[in-house]
Amino acid sequence: MERFREVLQDCKLCDLGYIGGKYTWANNRSDQNFTKERLDRAIANSKWCATFGGGEVRILSSSTSDHCPILVSLSQQQSNPFKYAQVRRYEDRWSSFSDCEQVIKKAWNQGRGQVTGLQRIKEKLQTCMTDLRKWSYRKEMEERGSLIQKSNRLQHLQQTLTAEFVQQLKQT
């Protein structure tokens, strides 16, 4: 490790540190040979740090590897010059939810004024799309909350990982 630090110093590079769990690798053994280390790092030179303010390094959890990924977020986010218009279409994955049909039926059956013909169908389609988007957003937030809870649990297990917990982590 001392030689690694010397190389960083000779090349005028610095370790950006980390936020979150400390360890980025575990050998996943369940005996006395169990080991975990901080092997993976984010490093940068002074010009990069001056440009991006050092950034923020997070050690994430991994469900498929013995190495945890590292996410480097830049302090100065470049604004995206390519803005896309909101897409208005039915998402096929919505039909996998049992309550999607009820959202459509309720929106379709809402009475709106005395409009008839194609104008009425247009209004019903707009109402359906609006209600589906709101419903979809709520569903996405529910899924994201569940995913965040599971991800936090996985990260906690990986960071507190001991030989006894290797089997429990593999089952999670």
Instruction: Write down the domain spans for the chain.
Output: 1-75, 88-172
Residue 105 tokens, joined: 């039926």
Q: What is the pLDDT of residue 84?
A: 43
Distances (CA, A) of 119 to 112, 122, 123, 152: 11, 5, 6, 49
Residue 108 tokens, joined: 């379709």
| pLDDT band per the 50, 70, 90 thresholds, residue 82 | very low
Q: Of 10-14, 139-143, 161-165, give the lowest mean pLDDT range.
A: 161-165
Compare 168 and 65 and report the one with higher pLDDT: 65
pLDDT at 128 over 80: yes
pLDDT at 80 over 50: no
* Paired strand residues for 72: 57
Residues contacting residue 110 through CB under 8 Å, at least 6 positions apart = 124, 127
Determine the Cα angle at 5 with ends 21 and 29, to 5°: 45
